[in-house]
Amino acid sequence: MTEHKRRVVVTGLGPVSPIAFGKKDYWQALHDGRNGISSITTFELGDCPVTFGAEIKNFDPSQYMPGKEAKRSDRAIQFAVAASKLAVQDAGLDLSSIDPYRLGVYIGTGQGGIETSFNNFKTMLEKGSRRVSPYFIPMMISNMSTAYVAIVLGAKGPNLCVVTACATSLHSMGEAYHAIIRDDADVIISGGTEAALRAISIAGFASMKALSTKNDDPEHASRPFDKNRDGFVMGEGAGVVVLEELEHALSRGAHIYAEFTGYGTSCDAGHITAPDPEAEGASFATRKALKMAGWDLSQVDYINAHGTSTGLNDKMEAGMINKVFGEHAKNIVVTSTKSMIGHCLGAAGGLEVIASLQAIEENYIHPTLNYETPDPECDINISTGSGVNKKVDRLLVNSFGFGGHNGVLAFERFNK
């Protein structure tokens, strides 16, 4: 007798981004092509060679957690709590009606509490070790975003913090998907959070020559797949979704954004930062997601690309799309949400999944800003200008991180 396979759907969306908070405002901003990149104003940059980013300038953590607790929490934790609460609210979840041991949290982060680490290190050097905050460790360690959300929601089920650089959010969601499939939980709050947009991180990425240096024109700095791209733009925020077992969602009359049908992951195992120029690992992850979803190549309508605006990554990703999909690649609309919100590192994939699922809802694919000069080495079908009106039934979301970490998720319009 074949055991009935559990199905996973998305029932709640919680974005905290440089262009908007909450599903409705975030989607409107994406639809309108709002640019969240500008000169940095909320912290001192010192002599950093890059002076702009996709900064969240109007975030008040006391709207989502008690002020006392906010002061004891790193900004990454604050973003995670806010995004999780927004997602749970959007899903209409009555947490008191859920067995707490069937409710999980899988929220990853690329750099964790880097601001907390920097500030306390500075304090120790200037004032001595006895002045280091007693909250330093719980504010800094990467898993605390996941733990804190679990405490706030009363979630006693599986709890995991994935750390795979820029692939963090997708790996978090993929592992949450598997946990629900194998009956470890009925609901998992999943995604990524990042608050690394600070001078120390900017200095590090700038030293690697990974960042755009368009200080005099920040709004045009993030230009994924454009021939004149010169590096990525750092962003910050959190993207969290509610993943739910299908029958559990139907039993409570939940709104279903899409069904989560496939997850592919791999490692290039080649270089600490550069992607495999032959795109073997990314291609494997894509084919794995497609196989799990049970799709033919011709069924993919849309790809929300990793699209970082860096020379090597965009070239690799475009090459992968053409390599995997062949002639059908020209029919697939490709976007990069990073053109508006910058690269939010561990939170990037979460925010991009939210953008993608709303494309299914609205039958509209948001534009990629600043795509002006086509690159012959990135010969794919980019959504530009005012976006694309198109029915989206099946889509992929890509994330590729330093260390060669690859993640691809597959979502489709829900059908009973």
pLDDT, tens digit, 9 for 90 and up, residues 45-91: 999 999 999 999 989 999 999 989 999 999 999 999 999 999 999 99
| Mean local confidence (pLDDT), 110-128 | 94
How confident is residue 5, by pLDDT bands cut at 50, 70 and 90? confident
Q: What is the pLDDT of residue 2?
A: 39
Active site residues: 166, 306, 343
| Mean local confidence (pLDDT), 128-132 | 95
Nearest Cα to 25, choosing from 358, 329, 348? Answer: 358
How confident is residue 4, by pLDDT bands cut at 50, 70 and 90? low
Buried b (16+ CB within 10 A) or exposed e, 177-201: bebbeeeebbbbbbbbbbbbbbbbb
Q: Is the pLDDT of residue 142 over 90?
A: yes
How confident is residue 405, by pLDDT bands cut at 50, 70 and 90? very high
Q: Is the pLDDT of residue 1 over 70?
A: no
pLDDT, tens digit, 9 for 90 and up, residues 321-374: 999 999 999 999 999 999 999 999 999 999 999 999 999 999 999 999 999 999
Q: Read off the pTM.
A: 0.96
pLDDT, tens digit, 9 for 90 and up, residues 273-290: 999 999 999 999 999 999
Alpha carbon distance 164, 81 (integer Å) = 20
What domains, with CATH codes, occur in the chain? Answer: 8-251 (3.40.47.10), 262-411 (3.40.47.10)
Q: What is the pLDDT of residue 39?
A: 97
